[in-house]
Amino acid sequence: MSFALTGQKALVTGANTGIGQAIAVALAAAGAHVIAAGRRSCAETVAAITAAGGSGAELLLDLADLDAAVAALPDDLDILVNNAGIIRRDDSVDFTQADWDAVMDVNLKAVFLLCQRFAKNALAAERGGRIVNIASLLSFQGGIRVPSYTASKHGVAGLTKIFANEWAAKGINVNAVAPGYIATNNTEALRNDADRNAAILERIPAGRWGDPEDIAGAVTFLCSPAAKYVHGTILNVDGGWLAR
């Protein structure tokens, strides 16, 4: 059983830092040529890939301009990882339509359109492929003060399942990974808040925050031949949070 990705071409969105960067480096370490895509430069990610002996390139891809982003997606990809996402916070009674639209466009509409483009290309070329979407604990829970983020991540889980239903028999594996509380720049404020940090750790059976590499390992598995019969799953990588 092989976990190698030799000869595969992958694209990871939001690969300039954090989870996306770790995924890009891990896929390259498994042998894939990785295009690190983001609205900011991914030069640091490509440098890390190259330093480890892997093959990578960067692509500026702003999901706020969806038409341009979809058009820029390479036609010959074997792997697509939809990692990029944004969040807006406010009480649901005060949440603005602008914040709703911004989050839904990047977190859900972009995922749909990029997956659609990827599948069209793969089917036209009569080849298979792997799609891994990054979901969330809020694909299963409600959260607080993040209505559009919660709705978008529930939607990502649903899209993952319908794509698997339609494309599994055509050789395209579509799955998702739902990260738990991961130690990244985005969660630094939570980790620095002693009370919030303690409350979070108390709920995690593993007793620690996750590392970006924990997510990267799960994504690499789902992209590999070892996961050839895995379709439509939402893999929780949360230290046991949802089991508590």
Catalytic residues: 149
Q: Check if the beta carbon of residue 18 is closer than 8 Å to that of residue 242.
A: no
CA 206 to chain centre: 22
Helix (H) or strand (E) holding 77: none
Q: Check if the beta carbon of residue 81 is closer than 8 Å to that of residue 114.
A: no
Q: Check if the beta carbon of residue 175 is closer than 8 Å to that of residue 139.
A: no
Q: Check if the beta carbon of residue 218 is closer than 8 Å to that of residue 237.
A: yes
**Contacting residues for 238 by C-beta, under 8 A, at least 6 apart:** 137, 178, 179, 180, 181, 204, 210
CA 85 to chain centre: 8
Q: In the beta sheet, which residues pair with residue 133?
A: 82, 176
